[in-house]
Copies of this chain bind each other. A is one copy, B any other.
């Protein structure tokens, strides 16, 4: 498979973890979102929405990270990243969607650009926006996980699920943006446990070939 991604994209990070865990070989085409590679004519033909990630599997072009994760679960069911029971699947998906729908879309490049360029806000005000939604979202995830008997070593029991694949990039991004993650001890504990898993550790932004030299 071929993944159009970017080291910094939280959504591409989710997909890299799934591909690694399921042992699916893939090549990466890096789309520098800062330079605007996603707006090239070539990429527009792949994904007219001009965002990453996109995953190409033969003739099938897949977009939207959550839809890609579900597809990989469909076509490569082992190891399973969704629980066997409907209520468990709903719990896992709802944890995913707090990141996928309620936090991440507020932080992506097009939003940051609108806030600074169209609305005329300073970098400081942009940071306040980013922190506000990261902390609100992580608090919601923490409240869902903490003290719930279904939370185990990972978000749902003691096996990795899609919930962990969505939590890890979100916690990693919070740390990168200077958010104090000590306020979310369950999220932080699960992030730490996940980072012990080689397939997750190797998918981290810092390990990607397009991670900038000057940030190493």
Contacts and interface: CB of A to CB of B under 8 A. Distances in A.
Interface of A: 48-49, 51, 60, 62-64, 66-68, 70-71, 74-75, 86-87, 89-91, 93-94, 96-98, 100-102, 104-106, 110-111, 114, 118-119, 121, 125, 128-129, 132, 136, 140, 143-144
B48 A143 contact: yes
Given A67-B96, A105-B105, 8 more contacts: A49-B143, A62-B90, A74-B86, A74-B89, A74-B90, A97-B100, A100-B101, A119-B121
Nearest to A68: B90
* Interface pairs A-B: 6 shortest CB-CB: A67-B93, A74-B86, A64-B97, A64-B94, A71-B90, A67-B94
19 contacts: A48-B140, A48-B143, A49-B143, A63-B94, A66-B97, A67-B90, A67-B91, A70-B93, A71-B93, A97-B100, A100-B101, A101-B105, A105-B105, A106-B111, A110-B136, A114-B129, A118-B128, A118-B132, A119-B121
Contacts of A106: 105-106, 111
B132 A101 contact: no
A49 B144 contact: yes
Contact of A144 (B48, B102, B132): B48
